[in-house]
Amino acid sequence: MIRKTVSVIAILLLSGFLINGITMTQNLKRLHAGLESNLESVKTLNRVQSSIIDKNGELTKMLATMDRADKGLDDAIGKTDQLLTLLSKVVEYNADTLRLNDQMLKSSADSKRDIQSISQNLAELDPYMKQMDEMLKKLAATAREDEQYMEDMLNSTRHMNSKVPGVSN
């Protein structure tokens, strides 16, 4: 009964980990898609800014400012790319975790099946073990009786030998 309860609790825990992993993976995929959209918007903005600066050559101050902004955007794009790479790794790790959870769930089910089979086999052996125990008890009783009988025979032989001259005990 305790094993069954532990098995059920273990399965519930594994299910919880599995659901949690699936939920986290879905949320990370949504975040990943949003960041990719943001990256495309930043690249489009960068192209628009570049064309405006080219058309307005007399605005050198604005160009210098835009160059700094462009560098900042490039840095942001680089960081966003790094973040996307890291998020992709997290998604891969979550997928690996899900596979591992599936394997653990299968192993738990296999163990449960094996334990049930062992329990059934032990239950089937129980009557035979009781019968063997009874036989061994009877055999022990018979051995005690035989021992007593042999002891009595030895004592009788010694007694008879003591009465016969020249026979030593």
The domain locations on the chain are 2-126
* Cα–Cα distance for residue pair 72/68, rounded to 1 Å: 6
Residue 169 amino acid letter? N
pLDDT tens-digit map of 22-74: 888 888 888 888 888 888 888 888 888 787 767 766 667 767 787 888 898 88
Residue 83 amino acid letter? L
Say yes or no to pLDDT of 137 above 90: yes
The overall pTM is greater than 0.85: no
* Cα–Cα distance for residue pair 67/157, rounded to 1 Å: 124
- Half-sphere exposure of 141 toward its Cβ, with a 13 Å CA cutoff? 6
